[in-house]
Structure 1
C-alpha cells in the first residue's frame, strides 16, 4: 500500500493522542432516533421533493409514484434539522465520534428510491452536518476533541451470495459495481469534512474489499488519506458473517488494508458479541471497536436492553482490556451512550501491538 500523507494531520494527531489516553465513545443508532420523530412522507420530501420530483435536477426527472418515506439518508437534505439534533444529542451524551447519516447513501441502495443522482450530495452533506455539530461541541469543550466518522454501509446487495436459491451462481452486483458505488460515496464524505472513514455492518467480506479498494483509489487520486475503520457483523449464534467467516477469518481477510481499527457491530447484543470481540482483541494489530445492538429484538422488532444493562456488559469488555472504541447500534439512544461513556470512563484502553496511527498508514 502506498504511503500517503494525512489529509488532516492535526485531526489525526488529536485522534492519536486521545486514543492513547482513553477508550473513545462512538454514538448510537441513527435509525432508532429518527423513528422517535414519527416522520411522514412530507418530511422525507421536504420542499425540494414536494412536487414529486427533484426540483434541483436538470429536467426535473419525474418521481411520482415512488414513496420516499423510509429513506433516512434523504433526511440529510429534506430535514437536516432532525439529523443535526440527533448528532447534538449524542455529543451531549458523551460521544467522541459521531457517524454520518449515510448508511444507505450509495447508488445501489438509493436506486430503490430512484435517487442515484444524489449520492455525492448525500455523503457530502451528511459529513458537513456532522462536522458542524462536532465543531460546535468542541467550541464548548475545547479539551475534548470530537470526530466525524464517514459511514460506508454494506449496500443492499451482496457480491458473494446469490439472491436466487434456485441459481446459486447468480449475482445481482459485481466487485466493480460496488467499487464504483463506494468510490462516489467516499469522495462525498471527504469533501464534507469526515475525519475517518468507516466501512461498517459488513456481512459480506467481498463487499468490504470493494469498499477498501475504492477508498484507496480515492486516497491515491487526492494524494492523501484518512484513517479507516472496519466493522463487521456476526449475523447469528453460529459466530459467522453472512458470507460464512468467523471473526478471525474476517480479520485475516481485511488486515492487509492496515485499518485504524477492526471491530464488530449490529445483529447481536453485547453479551453475545463478547467472544468475537475477544478474538479480535487477541489478534488485531490495530485498535478494536464494538458497537453492538441493545440486545436482541423482541417480537415487535424492538430492543429492550436498558442503558444500565448494556453499560454494565460493555464495562466488563473494557476492564478486560478488549476495547479502544465503544458505542451502540440498533436500539441504542443517547441514554445508552451516556451510560456507556460513564461506565468506561477511567478504564484504560486496550494497548494494540501497533500503537500509533503512523503505523496504520
Structure 2
C-alpha cells in the first residue's frame, strides 16, 4: 500500500503538511488510494486491506493528530468498501474489505505508552473501520503481545459498542531470530492470544515465506482456529538505488501453494514488496485448492511474554513456585 501510494507522488499539500502520513490521503486523495485497491481486485484477490495501518493513537500522535483516528479509519474503509462493491456488482463474485489495524510505534511492554491509552485508540480505529464498512478487522504486524491484546480488546469494545459481530483476525510479525520483536516464541503468542476469542491467527511481514515455515507448522499442530499467512517478498536487499525485495511472483505462489497444502491455511496473501503481479500468480495457483484438513492437538498451558509451558505432569508431583517477591528468589 505505502509504496504504491508514494509511487504516485502525492504532494506535501496532499499530506496536509504531514509528509509520510499515508492515512491523510484517505481524505485528500481518495483517488490514488482507490487505484491501489482496484489494482489488486483486478488480479482476482478476494480481499483488500484498508489504508489504515497507521490510523492508531501511537502513530497519529507523532503527527499531533491523534484525534483524527476515527475519521481517517472510516474514510479508509469507505474507499475500500466502494471499490469492493463495484467489483462484486461487475463480476458477480463477492469481494471483502479487511480493516487494517497496525501495531503503532510504541511498545507498552517496554513502557513506551500506557495500555489503556492504546487500547482506547484501537477502539476508535476499529469503530471507524466498522462505520466505513469493513467486513472484518485485522490486527496485523503485531510485535508486542501486550500491544496485540490491547488491539484485540479495543476491537471487541468497538464491536460491542456498535452491536456488530464480524471476524477478528490477528497476524503476528516474527523476526529472523525466530521470535517476535520482544522475544516471544510462537507458542507463547498462540497460548496468550487464542483464548481472546479471535477467529484466525497467523503471520505477516518481517520475513519472506522461507522463514515462516516452522511457525506455521506449530500453528497447524496446535491452533484450534483457522490460519493465515501474508509474507513479504523475501528479506529486503540493500542496493545502490535503495532496498528491494528479491522474491519473485512465481516463488511467492510456490510458497503459498505449499503452505495451503501442508498446513491447511485458510487465508493467504502478501505483505511488503508483493505487487499485483505477485498476488495474481498466488490467486491462479491457490484459487481452486482445498486446504488440507488439519487435526490440531492443542496442549493446555500458560505463557509468559517469552514462552509457553504446557500443563504436563509426569510420575512425579507438580511443583508450582511463587516468583513474584521483590528479591526474585
Q: Would you say same fold, with TM above 0.5? A: yes
Query: Contact 2:261–2:292 at 8 Å: present in 1 too?
Result: no
5+ long unaligned stretches in structure 1: 1-29, 46-66, 162-170, 355-361
- Residues 1-361 of structure 1 aligned to structure 2 (within 5 Å): 30-45=1-16, 67-142=17-92, 144-161=93-110, 171-236=111-176, 238-299=177-238, 300-351=242-293
Query: Contact 1:203–1:235 at 8 Å: present in 2 too?
Result: no
Secondary structure in structure 1 of the residue aligned to 2:107: coil
Query: Contact 1:152–1:182 at 8 Å: present in 2 too?
Result: yes
Query: Contact 2:57–2:118 at 8 Å: present in 1 too?
Result: no
> Could you list the runs of 4 or more consecutive aligned residues of structure 1 that deviate by over 3 angstroms after TM superposition?
350-354
Q: Distance in 1 between matches of 2:219 and 2:263?
A: 12
Query: Contact 2:142–2:172 at 8 Å: present in 1 too?
Result: yes
- CA shift for structure 1 position 345: 2.3
Q: Distance in 2 between matches of 1:258 and 1:353?
A: 20
Q: Distance in 2 between matches of 1:270 and 1:116?
A: 34
CA distances 1:260-304 after superposition (whole Å, capped 9, x unpaired): 210100000011112111211221111100000000111122212
Query: Contact 2:55–2:73 at 8 Å: present in 1 too?
Result: yes
Q: Distance in 2 between matches of 1:122 and 1:353?
A: 41
- TM-score w.r.t. the length of structure 2 is 0.85
5+ long unaligned stretches in structure 2: 297-329
CA distances 1:97-136 after superposition (whole Å, capped 9, x unpaired): 1101000001221122222222111000111111001000
- TM-score w.r.t. the length of structure 1 is 0.78
Count of residues in correspondence between the two structures? 293
- CA shift for structure 1 position 350: 4.1
